[in-house]
Structure 1
Amino acid sequence: MEVRQATPDDVPYLALLFNSYRVFYGKPPDIGAAAQFLNDRLVRHESEIFVAVEGDTIAGFMQLYPLFSSTRMKRLWLLNDLFVSEEYRGQGFSKALIERAKELCRQTGACGFTLETGKDNVIGNQLYQQVGMRLSEGYNAYGWWG
């Protein structure tokens, strides 16, 4: 297994995984729009996308967006997307991707990264604790989706 930064050449297969990720979260499938979205992020340098590769196959991906922490006065990353293809789950791909997120934080001088997941995401919640992440119980998360 190798974890590396995604390139525009990865977009055709990455779009299939990204589409599956979106469908998992209840969104309608749209591979063309998924490919365009990912390509735009890569070409415009608006996010960091990493892929977990086994042989010639992209088994999973992770996308992080840059934020800043005013109180820490440092960069902070938002791990917005993490997905491993069903046939590669339970083999350490997610853990390897998260370790790469930690490395990105060290490389960019960031204070860390944050993510949100559903309370019903049992596997994800177990994974995040296994890799040393802490649940922020003292905060309420709010959103406005106009």
Structure 2
Amino acid sequence: MKHTIKKASLEDLEEAADLFNQYRVFYRQESNYEKGRSFLKERLLNNESDIFLAFTDGKAVGFVQLYKLFHYIKLQKQWLLSDLFVHPDYRGKGISVSLIDTSKQWCIETDACGLMLETEKTNLVGNNLYPRCGFEVDELHNYYHWWK
């Protein structure tokens, strides 16, 4: 099954929002298409993220969302691979790898030093996928978060 990847624009908002909602549900969040759609629309309108969509037979079946960060050691821009999702019916067909390869190419095109990501320890698929795609696990750091 052949697929293509394209950079999303506002024209792709409905398809991106549908996949984004499914992604959030995958991570045990309540389904909320409208709120997710508004969130993505704001990101696109304000140039706060770059989203790439994977299409098979004209249907959006996966996406990756990247946020711009800055690396304090390399003194360069880098990208946070924040969200990666492929519809369950299309998994195992190389779409995730294509989305990651597209993200790596985006780093080259935007003169960024690389990609970073984090995923849950329980995400077995992701924890097997990322090393296969050339990512290295950073075992020197603990990642923390604070929520208000």
Question: In structure 2, how many angstroms separate the alpha carbons of the residues matched to 1:39 and 1:13?
Answer: 12
**TM alignment of 1:81-92, pairs within 5 A:** 81-92=83-94
Question: In structure 2, how many angstroms separate the alpha carbons of the residues matched to 1:27 and 1:123?
Answer: 19
Where structure 2 has 5 or more consecutive residues not aligned to the other structure, the ranges are none
Q: RMSD of the alignment, in Å?
A: 0.8
Residue 8 of structure 1 aligns with which residue?
A: 10
Question: In structure 1, how many angstroms separate the alpha carbons of the residues matched to 2:78 and 2:28?
Answer: 28
Q: Per-residue deviation at 1:75?
A: 0.2
Q: Per-residue deviation at 1:24?
A: 1.0
Q: Per-residue deviation at 1:7?
A: 1.2
Q: Does residue 113 of structure 2 align to residue 98 of structure 1?
A: no
Once superposed, which parts of structure 1, at least 4 consecutive aligned residues long, lie more than 3 Å away?
A: none
Aligned-partner SS, 1:117: coil
Q: Per-residue deviation at 1:71?
A: 1.3
Aligned-residue identity in percent: 42
Residue 145 of structure 1 aligns with which residue?
A: 147
Residue 56 of structure 2 aligns with which residue?
A: 54
Give the TM-score of the pair, scaled to structure 1.
0.97
Residue 122 of structure 1 aligns with which residue?
A: 124
Where structure 1 has 5 or more consecutive residues not aligned to the other structure, the ranges are none
Question: In structure 2, how many angstroms separate the alpha carbons of the residues matched to 1:13 and 1:46?
Answer: 19
Q: Per-residue deviation at 1:109?
A: 1.1
**TM alignment of 1:36-51, pairs within 5 A:** 36-51=38-53
Aligned-partner SS, 2:107: helix
Aligned length: 146
Give the TM-score of the pair, scaled to structure 2.
0.96
Aligned-partner SS, 1:50: strand
Select the residue among 71, 74, 77 that pairs with 2:73: 71
Question: In structure 1, how many angstroms separate the alpha carbons of the residues matched to 2:14 and 2:142?
Answer: 37
Q: Per-residue deviation at 1:111?
A: 0.8
